[in-house]
Amino acid sequence: MEAKQWLAIMAIFSLIGCTSVISENAMKSVDNTVSYENVMVNPDAHSGKVLLMGGTVLETTPMSGKTVLMVLQHPLTGSDKPDIAAPSKGRCLVEVEGFIDPAVYGPGRQVTLVGVVMGKETRKLGQLDYTYPVIRGTEVYLWPLQEGSNEPRFHFGFGLGTIIH
């Protein structure tokens, strides 16, 4: 294979890895100066700001006209997938218009979303009063379930080896 062909293939893989699961239109509305950590500290100060975030669904509650997802935030990887191995900055409530099935958006599912910071809500978490940032989700991406482990389905490298699942 010639060097030009190799570079073209690598460029294609590079572009595929950089595409977001969130629409281009929604990404244009995101305020990149606002971090989830800042929203967690003072949700009211960021009311109206549009945020890109992700995490793990803890609970899904259908209500009249909307569904509320309780999400444990995790930082996003370069492909906008929540990095569940990285430390979380806390929980939030994500309100989505209409019905979302709790059997599909169940505990442990990963989501990436764009949403508007609406303020805060205090609820009991065990015996504590916990203040949740409230985010109105404008676009929510549910990551597909992974079969088996989080191991990549392909490997690059040289040498011999065995992978046991």
- In CATH, what number is assigned to the domain containing residue 85? 2.40.50.140
- Report yes or no on 163 lying in a domain: no
Query: Residues 22-39: what's their mean pLDDT?
Result: 95
Mean pLDDT of the chain: 85
CB atoms within 10 A of CB 33: 8
Q: What single-letter amino acid sits at 155? A: H
Structure tokens at 109: 């599912």
- Report yes or no on 59 lying in a domain: yes
End-to-end CA distance of the chain: 33
- Report yes or no on 68 lying in a domain: yes
- Report yes or no on 55 lying in a domain: yes
Which of 65-69, 125-129, 149-153 comes out lowest in average pLDDT? 149-153
Please report, for residues 62, 110, 161, the alpha-carbon distance to residue 146 in angstroms, rounded to integers and kept in the order given: 25, 10, 23
pLDDT for 146 equals: 79
- Report yes or no on 113 lying in a domain: yes
Give 18's pLDDT tier (boundaries 50, 70, 90). low
Which of 74-78, 96-100, 110-114, 144-148 comes out lowest in average pLDDT? 144-148
- Report yes or no on 147 lying in a domain: no
Domain region containing 116: 21-142
- Report yes or no on 26 lying in a domain: yes
In angstroms, rounded to a whole number, what is the distance separating the alpha carbons of residues 24 and 84? 24
User: pLDDT at residue 72 above 90?
Assistant: yes
User: pLDDT at residue 16 above 60?
Assistant: no
Which of 14-28, 40-54, 61-75 comes out lowest in average pLDDT? 14-28
Total count of domains within the chain: 1
Asked if 109 and 71 count as a contact pair (C-beta separation under 8 A), the reply is no
- Report yes or no on 49 lying in a domain: yes
In angstroms, rounded to a whole number, what is the distance separating the alpha carbons of residues 144 and 142? 6
In angstroms, rounded to a whole number, what is the distance separating the alpha carbons of residues 91 and 39? 11
User: pLDDT at residue 8 above 50?
Assistant: no
Q: pTM of the predicted model, to two decimals?
A: 0.78
Please report, for residues 2, 50, 142, the alpha-carbon distance to residue 57 in angstroms, rounded to integers and kept in the order given: 46, 20, 10
